[in-house]
Amino acid sequence: MQTVNVAVMGHGVVGSGVVEVLLSHDKSIAVKAKSNINVKYILDLRDFPGLDYSDRFIKDFDLILKDDSIKVVVEVMGGIHPAYDYVKACLEAGKSVCTSNKELVAAYGAELLKIAGEKNVNFLFEASVGGGIPVLRPIAQCLAANDLYEVFGILNGTTNFILTKMIKDNMSFDDALALAQQLGYAERNPSADVDGHDTCRKICILASLCFGKHVYPEQVRTEGITKITLSDVEYADIAGYVIKLIGYSKLLDDGKITADVYPALVAKNNQLAGVDDVFNAVMVRGDAVGDVLFYGRGAGKLPTASAVVADVIDCVKHLQARKYLSWDCGFEDYVVDSKTVKTRLYVRAEVDDTLDAKANIFGIFDDAEFIIAGKDNNEVAFITPAGVEAELKEKIASIKQLRNISVLHVLD
């Protein structure tokens, strides 16, 4: 059996998991890849003495680039630089690249896929969305006979853990975040998760794949979960919903799309409502297949590493390119402002007199679904009928008495 040399760039959580899976599963992987896979180099600026494979660490990227025996490179450094430069150089040198780096793919996916296509090598990134859950390859291959028109999901485990603690254990956002940090689910600086940036990168990748043109993070309206209160959780529950952070994208009739990240009220009978803790789920809708949902652990060392290694196996098995993943460059007006499309909104506001406020609300929205008039703090919460978001928001602003208004989307 032949041996294929690979290099792993980055020995953090995912990188060390990749090396661990490749070494511990070497026999079963060799059968599937039809080659032995040898980790020749591990690139990291830090030292890792005392490991079984400490002798494979290098600090100079050029050793990888200039070694023609390296056919597949794993990029698990994270961040844009130098990941982008290294990946581009590897592809241009005719090496296949597998990465879990969603920031990189969301920013430069179309460009890197194009280079891979020209060089007849693979650029694979299954682990960039949904961690270990198979999502991108099934969408690209198994749903190929469908015209896809909608993709959305719970794409970030950290925020889903926090929201689950708020919903199930009545924890405040701050306490739930602190617990997530204590358990290692959230970073000390949690902004990438709680402000929705991580979900944004993932919906960019999903929308790019499903609808065929690159969606850039700056085209996606992104809102995190920091403003969600326990009152919101309670009102949503009364109305038959749970609050989840959703990445959402939809194909419009004119070929353009919407793409958004926001916390939304998700109906309890929606499949996404039962996705709790650090689990993720991606829903795809196609004209022939209907709804398809992929569910599992969206993060974590070994789940993510196992997805990267599956890509490596695929590359090794098909050194002469499979290229089932591809999409075109995007353009400036491709992502339509979703404020121009129809939706329903949940509204929470402070008021002086709930009875008066209720009358005012029904004055503007005569078919509002009235949820609750809050007790102590004179809050009201209600759900609007369907309408164009921008117009709904104007109407909401025109309701007398409402102060400190908070608005969320509704996903039925």
Residues that bind a second copy (CB under 8 A): 21, 25, 28-29, 32, 126, 132-134, 137-139, 141-147, 271, 274, 286-297, 300, 302-303, 305-310, 312-314, 317-318, 322, 324
C-alpha span between 376 and 371 (Å, rounded): 16
Nearest approach, Cβ of residue 323 and a second copy (Å): 9
Nearest approach, Cβ of residue 139 and a second copy (Å): 8
- DSSP assignment of 249-309 equals EEE-TTS-EEEEEEEEEEETTSGGGG--TTEEEEEEEETTTEEEEEEEE---HHHHHHHHH
> Nearer Cβ to a second copy, position 87 or 139?
139
- Using DSSP, state whether 342 is helix, strand or coil: strand
Specify whether 202 is catalytic: yes
Nearest approach, Cβ of residue 248 and a second copy (Å): 18
> Nearer Cβ to a second copy, position 72 or 305?
305
> Nearer Cβ to a second copy, position 133 or 392?
133
C-alpha span between 223 and 359 (Å, rounded): 31
Nearest approach, Cβ of residue 370 and a second copy (Å): 27
Which tokens sit at 245? 């952070």
The answer to whether the beta carbons of residues 308 and 74 sit under 8 Å apart is: yes
CA 108 to the chain's CA centroid: 16
Nearest approach, Cβ of residue 178 and a second copy (Å): 25
The answer to whether the beta carbons of residues 110 and 134 sit under 8 Å apart is: no
Nearest approach, Cβ of residue 210 and a second copy (Å): 12
Q: Which residues contact 64 (CB under 8 A, 6 or more apart)?
A: 7, 9, 41, 43, 58, 70, 73, 90
Which tokens sit at 385? 């009928």
> Nearer Cβ to a second copy, position 265 or 307?
307
Nearest in space to 225 (alpha carbons), one of 258, 202, 199: 199
Q: Which helix (H) or strand (E) holds 388?
A: strand 387-388
The answer to whether the beta carbons of residues 69 and 5 sit under 8 Å apart is: yes
Nearest approach, Cβ of residue 53 and a second copy (Å): 17
Q: Quote the Cα angle for 59-13-141, to 5°.
A: 100
CB atoms within 10 A of CB 45: 9
Q: Which residues contact 75 (CB under 8 A, 6 or more apart)?
A: 9, 10, 83, 86, 87, 90, 97, 98, 99, 100, 101, 104
> Nearer Cβ to a second copy, position 254 or 332?
254
- Asked if the bond preceding 138 is cis, omega within 30° of 0, the reply is no
Which tokens sit at 121? 């090598």
> Nearer Cβ to a second copy, position 202 or 297?
297
> Nearer Cβ to a second copy, position 190 or 298?
298
Exposed, middle or buried, 182 (CB in 10 Å: 0-12/13-18/19+)? exposed
> Nearer Cβ to a second copy, position 187 or 291?
291
Q: Pick the catalytic residue from 40, 102, 202, 244.
A: 202
Q: Give catalytic residues, as residue numbers.
A: 202
